[in-house]
């Protein structure tokens, strides 16, 4: 008996959100099929790959240090990141703003943002310090400094969405990243309250949370699956924003990527383990519904970019 495939066709689609300006601007979302289900329909826009850099400089990872060899300023690091094979945009993480860490001032961090933005011609995303109080002060200033750049400001959370959303999405016409913690209801509620501020749905992306592969990752997969199903099959407008997933901050901090070869010789070279964790997690995020992933290692960027091209 012949097999008659029945395509899953949906009347709904993920909203398109464009970041950046000019020829190198990128558009996220637009798909009306499940991730990489190109046999059912057109995904419209291929998922994108962002390269993470930090205001704290170049990480102590051999392959990453080698790639950025000779770079001494944030402008030089940003240019090198933008030129990485397979990169679509750059994400600057302002981890130095954490009051429990380097505790850099808002003024110093905004100056770094300006330096990076002026050095590159690809879209820019900016991620805060992970400290809610500091980010509520910092990210509105970042949004102001990037006027005219159409940047993505990550992230507006339940605790600070009014400050970040109003500044980025309304006052300075940037794109807003709505960050929740691996829960479809929290993700939807945050989108609802951000739009109630007056931010257009076409100016919102979701960061629904992530984890390194193997670290409770099944919750990430099920959350993204449910979000995409609700957005496409049920036509839920408050879940039809594209998803952007920062990967590096999750994968390079787990024991598999950090334990020394002296301590765990049977695990093999430490850098290879970190790259594998980053690639596996990024690939799983894309297969689960992310419209963009943010990674760090040049080998990861090239591998994930090739994977996307091969599956489109």
pLDDT of 1 over the 90 cut: no
Render 224-246 in DSSP notation, one character per residue. HHHHHHHHHTS--GGG-S-BEEE
Handedness of CA 172, 165, 50, 96 (dihedral sign): positive
What pLDDT digit, counting tens, does each position of 211-256 carry? 999 898 999 999 999 999 999 999 999 999 999 999 999 999 999 9
Parallel/antiparallel/unpaired status of strands 26-28 and 17-19: antiparallel
Mean pLDDT to the nearest integer, 174-186: 96
pLDDT at residue 2, as a whole number: 79
Cβ-Cβ contacts under 8 Å for 131 (sequence gap 6 or more): 97, 98, 99, 100
> How far is residue 116 from each of residues 260, 308, 311, measured CA to CA in Å?
33, 27, 32
What is the average pLDDT across 102-112?
97
264-281 pLDDT, tens digit per residue, is 989 999 999 999 999 999
For all residues of the chain together, what is the average pLDDT? 95
Taking a C-beta distance cutoff of 8 angstroms, is the pair 237, 207 a contact? no
Give mean pLDDT, residues 7-23: 93
pLDDT at 231: 97
pLDDT at 8: 82
Q: What is the DSSP letter of 274?
A: H
pLDDT, tens digit, 9 for 90 and up, residues 140-161: 999 999 999 999 999 899 999 9
- Is pLDDT of 5 > 80? no
How confident is residue 4, by pLDDT bands cut at 50, 70 and 90? confident
* Contacts of 128 by beta carbon, 8 Å cutoff, 6+ apart: 94, 97, 134, 135, 138, 139, 154, 155
């Amino acid at each position: 008996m012949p097999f008659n495939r029945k395509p899953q066709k949906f009347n709904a689609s993920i909203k398109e959100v464009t970041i950046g300006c000019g020829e190198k601007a990128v558009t996220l979302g637009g798909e009306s099929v499940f991730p990489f289900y190109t046999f059912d329909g057109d995904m419209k826009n291929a998922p994108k790959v962002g390269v993470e850099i930090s205001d704290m400089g170049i990480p102590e990872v051999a392959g990453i240090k080698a790639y950025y060899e000779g770079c001494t300023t944030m402008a030089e690091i940003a240019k090198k990141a933008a030129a990485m094979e397979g990169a679509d945009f750059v994400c600057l993480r302002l981890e130095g703003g954490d009051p429990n860490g380097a505790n850099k001032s808002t003024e110093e961090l905004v100056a770094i943002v300006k330096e990076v933005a002026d050095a590159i011609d690809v879209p820019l995303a900016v991620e805060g310090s992970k400290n809610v109080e500091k980010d509520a002060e910092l990210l509105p200033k970042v949004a102001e400094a990037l006027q005219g750049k159409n940047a993505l400001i990550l992230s507006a959370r339940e605790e600070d969405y009014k400050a970040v959303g109003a500044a980025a999405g309304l006052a300075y016409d940037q794109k807003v990243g709505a960050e929740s913690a691996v829960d479809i209801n929290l993700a939807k509620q945050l989108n609802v309250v951000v739009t109630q501020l007056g931010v257009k749905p076409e100016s919102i992306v979701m960061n629904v949370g992530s984890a390194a592969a193997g670290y409770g990752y099944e919750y990430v997969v099920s959350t993204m699956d449910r979000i995409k199903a609700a957005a496409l099959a049920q036509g839920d407008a408050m879940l039809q924003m594209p998803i952007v997933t920062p990967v590096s901050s999750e994968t390079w901090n787990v024991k598999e990527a950090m334990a020394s070869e002296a301590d765990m010789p049977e695990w093999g070279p430490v850098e290879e383990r970190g790259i594998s964790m980053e690639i596996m997690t990024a690939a799983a995020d894309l297969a689960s519904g992310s419209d963009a992933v943010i990674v760090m290692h040049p080998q990861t960027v090239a591998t994930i970019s090739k994977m996307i091209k091969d599956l489109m």
